[in-house]
Chain A
Amino acid sequence: MRDLPCWIAVTIAGSEMGVWMSGSKLIHWSAVLGTAVMAIASWSASGSPVRAEDVIRFGAPLPLTGPLAPEGIKQQQGYDLWAEQANKAGGISVGGKKYKVEIVYADYQSSTPRAVQTTEQMITQDNINFLFGAFGSGAAKAASTVSEKYKVPTIAAAASSSQVYDQGYKYLFGTFTPNDTLTTPLTQIIKSKAPDVKKVAILARNDLFPLAIAQEMEKSAKANGLEVVYFEKYAIGTLDHSAALSQIKSLDPQWIFITGYINDLLLARKQMVDQELKAQVVTMIAGPAYQDFIESAGESAENVTSASWWHPAERYDGKDIFGSTENFVKLFHDKYKSDPDYGQASAAVCGALFQMAIERAGSLDRDKVRDELAKLDVVTFWGPVKFGPNGQINSLEPPVFQIQGSKPVVLFPLAIKQGELKLGVN
């Protein structure tokens, strides 16, 4: 119901009031007030500052309200931190002249069709120079059709599924490696450290990214000789997992792999404890990478494994504006009083990559910047960045980690390993 656009509600109410005229003053004034509020809201949404010549405008369509709001807000923090740092250093240098960074935000309310509209509006009305992709593989893919049509270079900060990049688009880039780069090292670690694990049960949110990564997990498990005894999807907005978990329990798998977002995974983990469903290995993607998950799940988060595209424990000496990973973590902590996760870091590195590409191009010409992005081969605080021919990054080695003592402990890659895999999730 919350998807009902406000203006439709006001319009319907207004027309109803025409029929039901003799009504009270309250109705009349609430209709007037409602229309005025909507008018002000739409004015303020589109009423961005006058375009200045020495400003580069980056469009960031984000789900700032609705079910994906927690993720959208994280991404916004990453962009803001980059813009602040870039402007503190005087701005982006283009052909000897410094340009300030301005990020134009628009809330698409977690609705993919609205993400597409918003993206088009940013290009045609808000006069943005470059774009950040919408959140998640589904929305990023849908919105990329618009940015490609207008030939606007776009970096997606949170889209990993190969379906986003296999469209043959020239102007779309992404900072997440394909999903199998998360599941393959995870399976290999479990295979070598837990030889008793023979049966895997997979439960996936029926959504583009969570389902795609679950399918990669199924492939990876089979390729490593594990038996997939259960593979089911659950609907978005599911309030109860007990039937699925009871079935999983009856199959007695040693490894339980569940995908979804924080709310799904918190509920599933709570219900696993309720149902006394235990396993040697429990993997959840993508909740445990977030501090909120660890805090909310409490003791039940212990020994849950996960994988993500970045971790604050990494140690890269980057050529980007943030420099080292440590410096990025420090700057983030100073600004937000919390440690960054991969969502925030990815958003920040997208800005930093645009900055490098624009400075190398020495121009704001979209095609020149696009070509520089395609040629990038640099180390950043995020890790080594090189985009493949399809625009998706292919140079990262995403970390596998486990919650131990209420903290994420990196198990892979070896260069930043912090501990050993612990078996047993109760």
Chain B
Amino acid sequence: MLAAQIIINALVLGCLYACIAIGFSLVWGVLNVINLIHGSIIVLGAYLAWGAYQSMAISPWYVLPVAVPVFFVFGYLLQRLLLNRVLHAPVLVTLTLTFGLDLILNNAMIYFFKADYRKLTLKPPMGSVSLFHVVVPVDRLIATVLALALTGLLYLLLRHSRIGRAIVAVRLDRDAAILMGVDVRSIYAIAFGIGAALAGCAGVLMALIFPISALTSSSYLDKAFVVCVLGGLGSVSGALAGGLLLALVEGIGSAAIGPAYATTLSFALLIVFLLFRPQGLLGRKGFE
């Protein structure tokens, strides 16, 4: 029964990891930008959910529809006004710019919200469901379902909408896309906007699960990075596969050799993947 509990825990956590990583994967895959501000946007989403609940008792579920446009516009403007200007510079320049933006956003959050850890505790708490002695917390379950729904929506958007096909086209061959009349700068901004919206939504969901502080942003960024490398950059299913693999390795590793080594194990796996399967589990695809 313990094994079943550990695997269920890991599957739920894996979906949350996928949710954390999907926006990061999209931006990296399409724009070739390692977006270091991703973790701070997740935390900002968490603060939005926390603020809405503390001041107006609005549940995080209802915050999601607001978070999508707010963070989309934030990401769109960031890309359009700043990142687009350095997109063709060497990768270190975009890395430095997102690093600088992350410092600004992170320190602004510390300034406004202080560094104290906060917790969004629903009243009454949602409790857990138990089946054959395997317990699953309801809030994690709902967050998992919503994370899967967001991932699915992104898949549908990329697969079946004009904008989605344009994003995929730019991802596959930027020059050919320009020749076909795609406005690349606008597509970049839209892709970054979607990435930011996904990060913001992930933050809203994570507010229920993890303590909230600007100081946790690097943990989210680390996880997103590992998930992308493990799953394979540039596909929705890759982020999901990477998230599940990471959570399973951490969960089973933690039970087998102790929680102190779970992180070491996941990073060792990352090195193995970089050496022997750099394209990740599902390969480098074009978000098709």
Contact = CB atoms under 8 A, between A and B. Distances in A.
Same complex origin of A and B: yes
A195 B32 CA distance: 62
6 contacts: A1-B36, A13-B92, A69-B110, A70-B114, A232-B260, A233-B260
Interface secondary structure of B, over-half rule: helix
A243 B89 CA distance: 44
Among B13, B123, B252, B263, the one with the most A-chain Cβ atoms within 10 Å of its Cβ is: B263
A276 B136 CA distance: 9
Nearest 4 Cβ contacts at the A-B interface: A274-B137, A296-B119, A243-B254, A69-B115
Interface in B78-135: 85-86, 89-90, 92-93, 96-97, 99-100, 102-103, 106-107, 110, 114-119, 121, 123, 125, 128, 130, 135
A9 B259 contact: no
Contacts of A270: 119, 209
Contacts of B114: 70, 73
Nearest to B106: A2
Contact of A246 (B2, B216, B258): B2
Contacts of B103: 2, 6
A66 interface: yes
B40 to A, nearest CB: 10
Contact of A27 (B93, B121, B213): B93
A241 B259 contact: yes
A276 B103 CA distance: 39
Interface secondary structure of A, over-half rule: helix
B62 interface: no
A231 to B, nearest CB: 10
B211 A246 contact: no
Given A34-B100, A242-B9, A276-B128, A262 B260 contact: no
A299 B121 CA distance: 9
Contacts of A203: 259
Interface in A252-309: 262-263, 266-267, 270, 273-276, 292, 296-300
B121 to A, nearest CB: 5
B280 interface: no
Interface of A: 1-2, 4, 6, 9-10, 12-13, 16-17, 19-20, 23-24, 26-27, 30, 34, 65-67, 69-70, 73, 203, 206, 232-235, 237-244, 246-247, 250, 262-263, 266-267, 270, 273-276, 292, 296-300
A131 to B, nearest CB: 24
Interface string B193-214: 0000000000000000111010
A266 B90 contact: no
Contacts of A242: 6, 9-10, 13, 251
B119 A243 contact: no
Contacts of A263: 117, 211, 213, 215-216
A6 B262 CA distance: 31
B128 A16 contact: no
A262 B211 contact: yes
A300 B211 CA distance: 14
A16 B92 contact: yes
B99 A1 contact: yes
B47 to A, nearest CB: 14
Contacts of A34: 100
Contacts of B255: 243-244, 246-247
A417 to B, nearest CB: 30
Interface residues of B, number: 62
Given A19-B90, A237-B263, A263-B117, A232 B211 contact: no
Contacts of B209: 270
Contact of B89 (A27, A70, A233, A297): A27
B221 interface: yes
Contacts of A296: 117-119, 121, 211
B262 to A, nearest CB: 7
A96 B89 CA distance: 66
A240 B223 CA distance: 12
Among B103, B119, B215, B250, the one with the most A-chain Cβ atoms within 10 Å of its Cβ is: B119
B107 to A, nearest CB: 8
Contact of A232 (B93, B123, B219, B259): B259
A250 B2 contact: yes
A16 B254 contact: no
A27 B93 CA distance: 9
Nearest to A298: B121
Contact of B250 (A10, A243, A267, A273): A243
Contacts of B258: 232-233
Nearest to B99: A9
Contact of B264 (A30, A232, A235, A250): A235
Given A232-B258, A243-B6, A292-B116, A275 B215 contact: no
Given A242-B13, A296-B121, A20 B100 contact: no
B93 A262 contact: no
Contacts of A73: 114-115
Given A232-B260, A235-B264, A267-B210, A240 B2 contact: no
B218 interface: yes
A269 to B, nearest CB: 9
B258 to A, nearest CB: 5
B34 to A, nearest CB: 10
A240 B218 CA distance: 15
Contact of A243 (B9, B139, B210): B9
Contacts of A2: 102-103, 106, 218
Given A1-B99, A9-B96, A275 B262 contact: no
B5 interface: yes
Contacts of A66: 215
Nearest to A273: B125
B208 to A, nearest CB: 9
Nearest to B247: A240
Contacts of A234: 259-260, 262
A413 B261 CA distance: 38
Contacts of A237: 219, 222, 263
B171 interface: no
